[in-house]
C-alpha cells in the first residue's frame, strides 16, 4: 500500500480549493519508526507511550525510557513528535501494576486520573522525556482530560519536573509545548481558560465517540452501531473547531477515523487542519485530499443536515462516487 502512494509521499496535502492539511502518524513501538520515512508522515501526532509499558513484564527504568524516547526523536529528524503520557487503565492494564477490579474500567481510574493520584510513574516518565529531548523541542500531551483542573495539574507537574531537571544539571528542552487530548464531551464545553492554556488540543475520536454515544468501543455489539458521520457527532466536532478558532488553539484529530477517507474528508471540511493516523493510511488519505474541494464537501454536509439526515455518510458517499465516475 505504501508503494502505491510513493509518488505523492513527499507532497504536502493541499486540497483543490487550497486548504493545507497536515498529516502525521500515530506510533508507540520502535517497529513503527521506519514508517516515519516510508509513509511521508509530517511527524508523530500521537506517540502512545503506554505501549512501551505494556510490552514489558516489569516497570521500565527511567534511563531505558529516555533512550527509547531519544531514538524516537532521532528518527523524526526534527519533525514534531507528540508524546502522550501514560494512558493506562480501561482496556490497557499493566500486568505489574496492582489494581482493583472496577465495574466500568473505561469510566474508571485511568490515564490522567491515575497519574494525578499517584504521580510517581508519570514524573519518572516526564524526566525521561526531558532527558531524551536533551535540548531539543519537547511536546507532551495528557490523555483523558475531563476537566480544566486536570490539565492544569498535569502541566504543573511537568513544570516542576523541568525545574528539577534543570537543578540537576540536565539541559532544558529548546521549547516545551503542553497539550491535552479531548476525549470526553465535557471538554467541548470547558471554560475558555482551557482553550487558552493548552498549547494544542488533539481530539481522541475513539474515546470521544464512545462517550458521546455511550457505546463501548470494545463491545462488538455496539461499537459500530453509531456512525462517526452522524450529524450529532459532527456538530460536536464543529463546536470544538469553533472554540479552538476563537482562541487560536492548534487542533488536531488522532482517532482511527482520521485514517478513513470519508471521515477524514468530513473532518477536514469541518475545519480540522491536522490529522494523525496509522502510517498506512497517510498515502490514501492524502490521495483523497489532493483531489477534493472542502467547500463542496461542506456544502454536501450542510445540505444533508438541512434535509434532516441522521448521518451525512450517504450524501458524502454519493458525492464521492459521482466525482470518481
Residue 257 interacts with Mg ion (CB under 5 A)? no
With CB under 5 A as the contact rule, the residue among 150, 161, 207, 227 that binds Mg ion is 207
Q: How far is the CB of 207 from ligand PEP (least distance, A)?
A: 3
With CB under 6 A as the contact rule, the residue among 39, 41, 44, 48 that binds ligand PEP is 48
Q: Where are the beta strands (DSSP E) in 128-171?
A: 138-145
Helix pair 294-306, 231-247: axis angle to 10 deg: 130
Cβ distance to ligand PEP smaller for residue 196 or 218: 218
Nearest to 103 by CA among 182, 216, 212: 216
Residue 72 interacts with ligand PEP (CB under 6 A)? no
Q: Please report, as residue ranges, which positions from 217 to 236 form the binding site for ligand PEP (by CB under 6 A).
A: none
With CB under 6 A as the contact rule, the residue among 32, 87, 150, 161 that binds ligand PEP is 87
- Rounded Cα distance between 287 and 270, Å, is 19
- Rounded Cα distance between 275 and 251, Å, is 9
- Rounded Cα distance between 160 and 179, Å, is 16
Q: How far is the CB of 110 from ligand PEP (least distance, A)?
A: 10
Q: How far is the CB of 255 from ligand PEP (least distance, A)?
A: 3
Residue 110 interacts with ligand PEP (CB under 6 A)? no
Q: Which does 260 bind (CB under 5 to 8 A by kind): ligand PEP, Mg ion, none?
A: none
DSSP state of 4: G
Q: What is the sign, positive or negative, of the torsion defined by CA atoms of 81, 47, 31, 255?
A: negative
Give the Å distances, CA to CA, from 46 to 4, 51, 100, 140.
25, 12, 28, 10
- Contact between residue 142 and residue 85 where contact means Cβ atoms under 8 Å apart: yes
Q: Please report, as residue ranges, which positions from 154 to 213 form the binding site for ligand PEP (by CB under 6 A).
A: 183, 204-207
- Contact between residue 92 and residue 124 where contact means Cβ atoms under 8 Å apart: no
Q: How far is the CB of 263 from ligand PEP (least distance, A)?
A: 12
Residues 194, 195, 197: CA angle, nearest 5 degrees: 65
Q: How far is the CB of 25 from ligand PEP (least distance, A)?
A: 12
Query: Which of the ranges 90-98, 118-126, 183-191, 265-273 carries the binding residues for Mg ion, by CB under 5 A?
Result: 183-191
- Rounded Cα distance between 233 and 230, Å, is 5
Cβ distance to ligand PEP smaller for residue 85 or 292: 85
Question: How many residues contact ligand PEP, by CB under 6 A?
Answer: 10
- Give one word for 82, left, alpha or beta, with left for phi > 0 and alpha for psi -120 to 50: beta
DSSP state of 144: E
Helices and strands, counts by H and E, the chain: 13, 9
Residue 205 interacts with Mg ion (CB under 5 A)? no
Window 245-284: contact mask with ligand PEP (x via CB under 6 A): ---------xx-----------------------------
Q: Which does 130 bind (CB under 5 to 8 A by kind): Mg ion, ligand PEP, none?
A: none
Window 1-40: contact mask with ligand PEP (x via CB under 6 A): ----------------------------------------
Q: How many residues does the chain have?
A: 325
Q: Which does 254 bind (CB under 5 to 8 A by kind): Mg ion, ligand PEP, none?
A: ligand PEP
Please tell me the number of Cα atoms within 13 Å of 203 on its side-chain side.
33
Question: Where do contacts with ligand PEP occur on this chain (CB under 6 A)?
Answer: 46, 48, 87, 183, 204-207, 254-255
Question: Where do contacts with Mg ion occur on this chain (CB under 5 A)?
Answer: 183, 204, 207
Amino acid at each position: 500500500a505504501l508503494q502505491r502512494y510513493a509518488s505523492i509521499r513527499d507532497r504536502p496535502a493541499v486540497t483543490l480549493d487550497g486548504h493545507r492539511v497536515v498529516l502525521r502518524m500515530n506510533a508507540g513501538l520502535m517497529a513503527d519508526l521506519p514508517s516515519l520515512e516510508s509513509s511521508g508522515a509530517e511527524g508523530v501526532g500521537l506517540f502512545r507511550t503506554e505501549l512501551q509499558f505494556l510490552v514489558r513484564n516489569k516497570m521500565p527504568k527511567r534511563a531505558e525510557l529516555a533512550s527509547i524516547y531519544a531514538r524516537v526523536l532521532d528518527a523524526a529528524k526534527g519533525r514534531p513528535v507528540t508524546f502522550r503520557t501514560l494512558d493506562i487503565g480501561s482496556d490497557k492494564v499493566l500486568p505489574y501494576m496492582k489494581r482493583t477490579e472496577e465495574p466500568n474500567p473505561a469510566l474508571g481510574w485511568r490515564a490522567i486520573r491515575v497519574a494525578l493520584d499517584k504521580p510517581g510513574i508519570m514524573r519518572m516518565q516526564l524526566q525521561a522525556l526531558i532527558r531524551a529531548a536533551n535540548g531539543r523541542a519537547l511536546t507532551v500531551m495528557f490523555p483523558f482530560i475531563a476537566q480544566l483542573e486536570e490539565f492544569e495539574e498535569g502541566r504543573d507537574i511537568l513544570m516542576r519536573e523541568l525545574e528539577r531537571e534543570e537543578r540537576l544539571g540536565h539541559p532544558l528542552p529548546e521549547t516545551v509545548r503542553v497539550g491535552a487530548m479531548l476525549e470526553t464531551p465535557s471538554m467541548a464545553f470547558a471554560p475558555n481558560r482551557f482553550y487558552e492554556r493548552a498549547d494544542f488540543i488533539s481530539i481522541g475520536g475513539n474515546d470521544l465517540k464512545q462517550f458521546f454515544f455511550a457505546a463501548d468501543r470494545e463491545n462488538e455489539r455496539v461499537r459500530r452501531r453509531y456512525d462517526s458521520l452522524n450529524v450529532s457527532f459532527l456538530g460536536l466536532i464543529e463546536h470544538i473547531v469553533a472554540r479552538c478558532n476563537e482562541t487560536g488553539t492548534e487542533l488536531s484529530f488522532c482517532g482511527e477515523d482520521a485514517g478513513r477517507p470519508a471521515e477524514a474528508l468530513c473532518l477536514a471540511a469541518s475545519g480540522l487542519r491536522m490529522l494523525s493516523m496509522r502510517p498506512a493510511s497517510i498515502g490514501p488519505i492524502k490521495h483523497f485530499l489532493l483531489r477534493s474541494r472542502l467547500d463542496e464537501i461542506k456544502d454536501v454536509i450542510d445540505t444533508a443536515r438541512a434535509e434532516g439526515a441522521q448521518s451525512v455518510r450517504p450524501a458524502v458517499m454519493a458525492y464521492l462516487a459521482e466525482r470518481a465516475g
